[in-house]
Amino acid sequence: MSESNWRDQELSYEQVLDKHNGDISKFTVLKIDVTRRGYVYSEEAAKVIDPNKHHVEPNDFLGSTKTTNSSPFPIGLVMRDGTTICSEPGLSTIVRQRDPYVIELIDNKLYITDQGRVYEEVEIWERPDFYDKVTSNGTPMWQIASARPQRITIAPGTKCHFWDKPGNGCKFCALFSGHRCDEGEFRDEKYFQDVTETVAEALKQKGRYASFHMTSGSTLSGREIFDDEVELYIKTLKAAGKAIHSDKFPTKLVASAFSKRQLERMRDETGMTGYVTDLEVLNKDLFGWICPGKTEFIGYDEWKKRLYDAVDVFGRGQVNCGIVAGVETAQPYGFADEDKALEIVLKEANEIAKHGVTFSECVWTTLPKSYFSKQKTPSLDYYVRLALGLAEARRRNGIQENIDDYRRCGNHPNTDLARIEKW
């Protein structure tokens, strides 16, 4: 699809809003489209970016793609209703399947625009206060934790060992592309002390954080697969808990598909309250192609079973299945027809939701360094229908979204819809 004709082949933002006629917030639709297409700052808008005030990611966090020029690129925007847009620095300057939106400066305010049309006012995420601090060990705190407007994030490990075997990593993934074949990573007591001090410092910024988030790549070693990964998470969660001063605290752990024994250990030994493990694509055949490492070591059916076991451990509404929304249309083996893709994916989603599992879907963007970097992503209308379908699967099965809604994450369109649900 060329830049010159993609607009003629898809419903526009306005047409999608008209089609769904009040079924979904215009802010959520715009969030999806801005994420799908990317965005750039105009020359005037870029002048207001202040690394001392705005959240510009200072490190290559989890192997993310840095911008190709020297200009700082903030990692997120927030719209006037509180809807957040998470961005990948440099994506819009590298991947151009479709024209990106443009952030323009108008009357000293920033707006999302497209072809001269002004849509919504936005603000750049503010830089966390703790980023300027150093631990007693001399470690800059931004090296220990990152932050969104509503959560603290710690990634204790930056290696994903599915990549140890060439070609075994997930094909859409660029998070760990810089660390695909590195040796294992071990943390000493100084690191865990740094975690405690960083979380304590972050919490001094009153009213900012609603939850604690942790993730890493998969570690396959241990007496049982993932045992060493579990051990690292437990130590890190305990270190954070020392600063939070509570037996349990709002937590979202995004991790490998742990066994019931491992999950029970984490529940019993830490303050963890919520768990996410990523099937990535809701189709067994495509899972085998897109996620070869996960297929080889665990498999689709066992991954699902471990999600269901997690509900027994943490409860309904406390377990989510992460998916890369739209990757089911990747070619040559994915669904070429969007209606068929939606039918198959939502059928599987409803089956999984019956077991008390809900969904954290991320809008698929074809990141540089991923095997799917040159793929075509679906239409805006597809993403909107998928978000509505996932939200309906949650409602139909009586699941409240407790760990991944807009107040605790802000990255998932279907969980944004939970803000208007009544229980």
DSSP assignments along 101-164, one per residue: EEEEEETTEEEEEETTEEEEEEEEPBPPGGGG-B-TTS-BGGGT-EEETTEEEE-S----GGGG
* Pairing mode of beta strands 76-79, 117-124: antiparallel
Q: What is the mean pLDDT of the chain?
A: 88
DSSP string computed for 245-264: TSSS--EEEEE----HHHHH
Q: Is the pLDDT of residue 347 over 50?
A: yes
- Please tell me which residue, 365 or 121, carries the higher pLDDT value: 121
Give the model's confidence band at 421: pLDDT under 50 very low, under 70 low, under 90 confident, else very high. Answer: low
Count the helix, strand and coil residues of the chain and give each as a percent rounded to the nearest 5.
Answer: 40, 15, 45
Look up residue 375 and give its DSSP letter. Answer: P
The whole model's pTM is what? 0.91
Nearest to 379 by CA among 10, 4, 31, 97: 10
Give the model's confidence band at 326: pLDDT under 50 very low, under 70 low, under 90 confident, else very high. Answer: very high
Amino acid identity at 93: T
The residue behind tokens 């055949």 is 285
pLDDT of res. 420: 67
pLDDT of res. 178: 46
DSSP-based three-state secondary structure for 374: coil
Residues 6+ apart with CB under 8 A from 245: none
pLDDT of res. 199: 96
Give the model's confidence band at 179: pLDDT under 50 very low, under 70 low, under 90 confident, else very high. Answer: very low
Q: Are 42 and 104 in contact (CB under 8 A)?
A: yes
Please compute the mean of the pLDDT values over residues 14-27 and round it to a whole number: 92
Nearest to 118 by CA among 129, 102, 98: 102
DSSP string computed for 59-86: S-GGGPPPPSSSS---SEEEETTS-EEE
pLDDT in tens, 73-124: 888 999 998 888 987 644 544 556 789 999 999 999 999 999 999 999 999 9
Tell me whether residue 312 is exposed, middle or buried, using C-beta atoms within 10 angstroms of its C-beta: 0 to 12, 13 to 18, 19 or more: middle
Nearest to 364 by CA among 26, 88, 15, 10: 88
Q: Is the pLDDT of residue 67 over 50?
A: no
pLDDT of res. 117: 96
Please compute the mean of the pLDDT values over residues 179-202 and round it to a whole number: 79
Residue 123 dihedral angles phi and psi, to the nearest 5°:
-125, 150
Angle, CA 50 vertex, CA 47 and CA 53 arms, to 5°:
150
pLDDT of res. 182: 40
Burial readout 237-251 (b: 16 or more C-beta within 10 A, e: otherwise):
bebbbebbeeeebbb
The residue behind tokens 């503010």 is 126
pLDDT of res. 365: 87
Residues 6+ apart with CB under 8 A from 200: 243
Q: Determine what percent of the chain is predicted with pLDDT higher than 90.
A: 66
Question: In angstroms, rounded to a whole number, what is the distance separating the alpha carbons of residues 401 and 391?
Answer: 10
pLDDT of res. 186: 66
pLDDT of res. 119: 97
Q: Is the pLDDT of residue 419 over 80?
A: no
Residues 6+ apart with CB under 8 A from 371: 169, 171, 172
pLDDT of res. 64: 42
Give the model's confidence band at 189: pLDDT under 50 very low, under 70 low, under 90 confident, else very high. Answer: very high
Burial readout 87-103 (b: 16 or more C-beta within 10 A, e: otherwise):
bbbbbbbbbebbbbbbb
Give the model's confidence band at 4: pLDDT under 50 very low, under 70 low, under 90 confident, else very high. Answer: low
pLDDT of res. 58: 60
Q: Are 220 and 161 in contact (CB under 8 A)?
A: yes
pLDDT of res. 322: 93
Q: Are 75 and 126 in contact (CB under 8 A)?
A: no
Tell me whether residue 331 is exposed, middle or buried, using C-beta atoms within 10 angstroms of its C-beta: 0 to 12, 13 to 18, 19 or more: exposed
Nearest to 97 by CA among 183, 214, 3: 3
Q: Is the pLDDT of residue 181 over 50?
A: no
pLDDT in tens, 205-256: 998 888 899 998 899 999 999 999 999 999 999 999 999 988 888 888 999 9
Please compute the mean of the pLDDT values over residues 262-269 and round it to a whole number: 96
Nearest to 276 by CA among 151, 420, 90: 151
Question: In angstroms, rounded to a whole number, what is the distance separating the alpha carbons of residues 265 and 216?
Answer: 18
Burial readout 178-216 (b: 16 or more C-beta within 10 A, e: otherwise):
ebbeeeeeeeeeebbbbbbbbbbbbbeeeebbbbbbbbb
Please compute the mean of the pLDDT values over residues 268-274 and round it to a whole number: 93
76 has which bridge partners?
86
